[in-house]
Every structure is written in C-alpha cells, then in structure tokens.
Amino acid sequence: MEQTHFEQSILWRKGAEYIVLSEEYTSSTKYSVAIAMLIHSIIKANDSLTSKYLNTVAKKHDDARILYQELIKKGFVQPQYASYSNIVQDAISNKAKAEYRAGYFSKNDYEEFKRKTDKFIAMVKENLQV
C-alpha cells in the first residue's frame, strides 16, 4: 500500500509542474492549483510512510503531522528529519487557502513549496528505498 501512496505523491508533484510549465494556463491562479497539488503530494508521501510503519493513514489532514511525529518517536524516520514535520504542517495550514478560499499564491510561493515537496519526497524515497 505504501508504494501506491508514494506513486500518487509523485503524480501529484508532476501534475503541479505540468500546470505551471504549460503555456495553456497563463493566469496566476495556476500557482494556487499547483500548490494545492503539491500539498496533496506531501500528504500522500506522508501516507506512504504511515501506512508502511503504523498501518494507518491520517483520517483528517490535521492528523498527518501527528502521525509523522509518531514515526520519529518510534524510530521509523531518522531524528535528522524531525524538522520535516514543519513541511507537513505548512502543507496542512495552506490546504484550505489553496483549495477552498481561492487564496493568492505567487510564482515564488510555488517555487518554495516545490522545494519543500521535493525535499520531503526525497526523504520518503530514501526511507522506503524505492
């Protein structure tokens, strides 16, 4: 199951990049949509870890950070990645703004979120050895 979650994470990430790079979409709203997709990418990557090690996934997005911290406490994720719980929290905090409130996100916001997403995915990939 963790493999499925991880593959979905990658697809959300690639979809976000497609939207941003596409010349078909020119308005700044594409950054809000792309960030929403990056948020889902982070959440699915987190799900891949929690499904493998804790046999569960977050039932509510707000639980994602708690489960990530549990992975650290139980030694399934190395302590050097403890600060990555901030990436999960940042994703959760921006989810409603990106999806429901049509909040404004700039190209710089997208680039920052993309860096965080790539960093989180790289850690998960290393952990899952995929």
Please return the burial class of 110, using the count of CB atoms within 10 Å of its CB with bins 0-12, 13-18 and 19+.
Answer: buried
Q: Is the pTM of this model over 0.85?
A: yes
Please give the tally of structural domains in the chain: 1
**CA dihedral of residues 56, 59, 65, 71 (deg, nearest 10):** -10
Structural domain for 83, as ranges:
2-128
| Banded pLDDT at 65 (limits 50, 70, 90) | very high
Q: For the domain that residue 75 is a member of, what is the CATH number?
A: 1.20.120.330
Listing DSSP states for 10-74 in one string gives HHHHHHHHHHHH-TT--STHHHHHHHHHHHHHHHHHHHHHHHHHTS---SSTTHHHHHHHHHHHT
Average pLDDT score over the chain: 93
Residue-wise pLDDT tens digits, 68-100: 999 999 999 999 999 999 999 999 999 888 877
